[in-house]
């Protein structure tokens, strides 16, 4: 029973779905009640509610369907892409449903659960050396596409990336906060698709909403002020000199993606704040333990920045932070350090408090 004495009930969504792909999007904005400053209201947009459990489901479906529409992707053609994991999982789900073979290139530095999820969904995963960073997996995907005539998804360059966030993510935010305050929108970046697509719409529809962008303290590519070197197709052709390895998987590869360049060139953010991996871990753990919201290090990092913003925001301010994915994608990372499989001392004491069914 709830506090009001009524039983929670559900009535269904009022429709049947033709495939899992039709369930992408319409993720909830959830109020944060137990952590953060008291003088503001904080929400998180929980992208783990997508069927592939991350925001990258959106770009995956749009890249494939846009390429189908204009003939760039042929029936049965193999799709190839470089990814830290979430885009690969989204593409694997889409390609499984639509019948396209998929090859993913991924640095061996990223979490093993991501590899397993992609393989479970039918993809082939080709690992690249950790020392070659994101640029190594990126170039490997290019090589494979050119050598085999495969369709390269181009998540870092394609207009289909930001377009889907303008058409869905941003519209969901407008609908959810219709008639309500929304003073700040907080996001990090991987490809830059989320912030670019959302900012296009918010700048026009909610110009008073301040857009706060974040990047890892160890890899402040935008803050460095140094341009990204690109080839004639807009592809990054070398690692950015300001990059250093960082623990926020899914954020900030070792180059500035072309999709993000629109945000930089158009001034789509009002403030740029760095965040440490340690703060990302800390706030992801707090969201889990104190709010019941399971997110990854990237989500924790977004929320950490949102808390920074909240601490100095005017009373009554409303802040929305993007949570890109689920914490289950990080079981082998520092996010779960100290979370053991065996009982700890307190758990053993609880077990010992009654005589039966005790594990020795």
Residue 132 sits in the same domain as residue 232: no
Residue 192 sits in the same domain as residue 313: yes
* Within a domain: 4: no
* Within a domain: 98: yes
Residue 83 sits in the same domain as residue 200: no
Question: What's the domain range around 130?
Answer: 56-152
- Domain boundary (152, 180, 199) is at 152
- Domain boundary (152, 175, 195) is at 152
Reported confidence tier of residue 1, pLDDT bands at 50, 70, 90: very low
Would you say residue 124 has pLDDT above 80?
A: yes
pLDDT the model gives residue 111: 86
Domain count, the chain: 2
* Within a domain: 38: yes
Residue 192 sits in the same domain as residue 141: no
The strand pair at 184-187 and 318-323 is best described as parallel
**Mean per-residue pLDDT, 106-118:** 92
Would you say residue 103 has pLDDT above 50?
A: yes
Answer left, alpha or beta for residue 14, where phi above 0 means left and psi between -120 and 50 means alpha: left
* Within a domain: 2: no
Residue 121 sits in the same domain as residue 261: no
pLDDT the model gives residue 84: 85
Please state the length of the chain: 360
Residue 127 sits in the same domain as residue 98: yes
pLDDT the model gives residue 5: 77
Alpha helices in 231-354 (DSSP H): 258-266, 277-286, 297-312, 345-352
Residue 202 sits in the same domain as residue 236: yes
Three-state DSSP class for residue 265: helix
Alpha helices in the chain (DSSP H): 56-70, 86-98, 112-120, 133-148, 159-164, 170-176, 193-205, 258-266, 277-286, 297-312, 345-352
pLDDT the model gives residue 3: 56
Percent over 90 (pLDDT), the chain: 95
Residue 121 sits in the same domain as residue 227: no
* Within a domain: 193: yes
Residue 198 sits in the same domain as residue 328: yes
Residue 246 parent element (H or E): none
**Would you name the residues annotated as active-site residues?**
56, 298
Would you say residue 279 has pLDDT above 70?
A: yes
Would you say residue 76 has pLDDT above 70?
A: yes
- Domain boundary (95, 119, 152) is at 152
Q: Which CATH number goes with the domain that contains 307? A: 3.40.50.1100
Q: In b/e form, how buried is each residue of 324-352, taking b as 16+ CB within 10 angstroms? A: bbbbebbeebebeeeeeeeeeeeeeeeee
Give the integer Cα–Cα distance in Å for 165 and 198: 6
Would you say residue 2 has pLDDT above 70?
A: no
Reported confidence tier of residue 360, pLDDT bands at 50, 70, 90: confident
Residue 36 sits in the same domain as residue 184: yes
Give the integer Cα–Cα distance in Å for 56 and 296: 14
Summary mean pLDDT of the chain: 96
143-191 pLDDT, tens digit per residue, is 999 999 999 999 999 999 999 999 999 999 999 999 999 999 999 999 9
* Within a domain: 358: no
In this prediction the pTM is 0.95
Would you say residue 244 has pLDDT above 60?
A: yes
Percent over 70 (pLDDT), the chain: 99
* Within a domain: 360: no
Would you say residue 311 has pLDDT above 90?
A: yes
**Mean per-residue pLDDT, 304-327:** 98
Residue 217 sits in the same domain as residue 298: yes
**Mean per-residue pLDDT, 68-81:** 97
Q: Cα 7–9–10 angle (5° rounding)?
A: 170
* Within a domain: 353: no
Give the integer Cα–Cα distance in Å for 169 and 53: 15
6-23 pLDDT, tens digit per residue, is 999 999 989 999 999 999
Residue 249 sits in the same domain as residue 315: yes
189-226 pLDDT, tens digit per residue, is 999 999 999 999 999 999 999 999 999 999 999 999 99
**Mean per-residue pLDDT, 292-316:** 98
């Amino acid at each position: 029973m709830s506090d009001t004495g009524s039983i929670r009930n559900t009535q269904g969504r009022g429709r049947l779905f033709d495939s899992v792909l039709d369930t992408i999007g319409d993720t909830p904005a959830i109020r944060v009640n137990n952590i953060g400053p008291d003088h503001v209201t904080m929400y998180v947009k929980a992208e783990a509610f997508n069927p592939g459990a991350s925001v990258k489901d959106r770009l995956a479906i749009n890249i494939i369907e846009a390429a189908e529409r204009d003939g760039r992707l042929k029936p049965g053609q193999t799709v190839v892409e470089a990814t830290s994991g979430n885009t690969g999982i989204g593409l694997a789900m889409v390609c499984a449903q639509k019948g396209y073979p998929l090859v993913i290139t991924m640095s061996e530095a990223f979490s093993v659960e991501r590899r397993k999820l992609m393989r479970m969904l039918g993809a082939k995963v080709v690992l690249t050396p950790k020392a070659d960073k994101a640029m190594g997996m990126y170039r490997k995907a290019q090589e494979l596409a050119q050598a085999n005539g495969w369709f390269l998804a181009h998540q870092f360059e394609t207009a289909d990336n930001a377009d889907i966030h303008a058409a869905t993510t941003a519209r969901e935010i407008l609908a959810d906060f219709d008639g309500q305050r929304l003073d700040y929108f907080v996001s990090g970046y991987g490809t830059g698709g989320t912030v670019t697509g959302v900012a296009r719409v918010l700048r026009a529809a909610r110009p008073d909403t301040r857009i706060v962008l974040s990047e890892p303290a160890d890899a402040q590519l935008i803050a460095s002020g140094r341009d990204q070197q690109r080839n004639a197709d807009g592809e990054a052709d070398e690692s950015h000199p300001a990059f250093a390895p960082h623990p926020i998987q899914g954020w900030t590869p070792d180059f500035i993606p072309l999709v993000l360049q629109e945000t930089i060139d158009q001034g789509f953010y009002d403030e740029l704040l760095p965040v440490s991996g340690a703060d990302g871990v800390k706030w992801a753990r707090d969201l889990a333990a104190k709010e019941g919201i399971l997110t990854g290090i990237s989500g924790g990092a977004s929320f950490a920045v949102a808390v920074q913003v909240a601490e100095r925001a005017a009373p009554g301010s409303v802040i929305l932070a993007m949570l890109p994915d689920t914490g289950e994608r990080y079981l082998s990372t520092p996010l779960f350090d100290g979370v053991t499989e065996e009982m700890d001392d307190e758990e053993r004491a609880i077990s010992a408090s009654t005589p039966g069914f005790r594990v020795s």
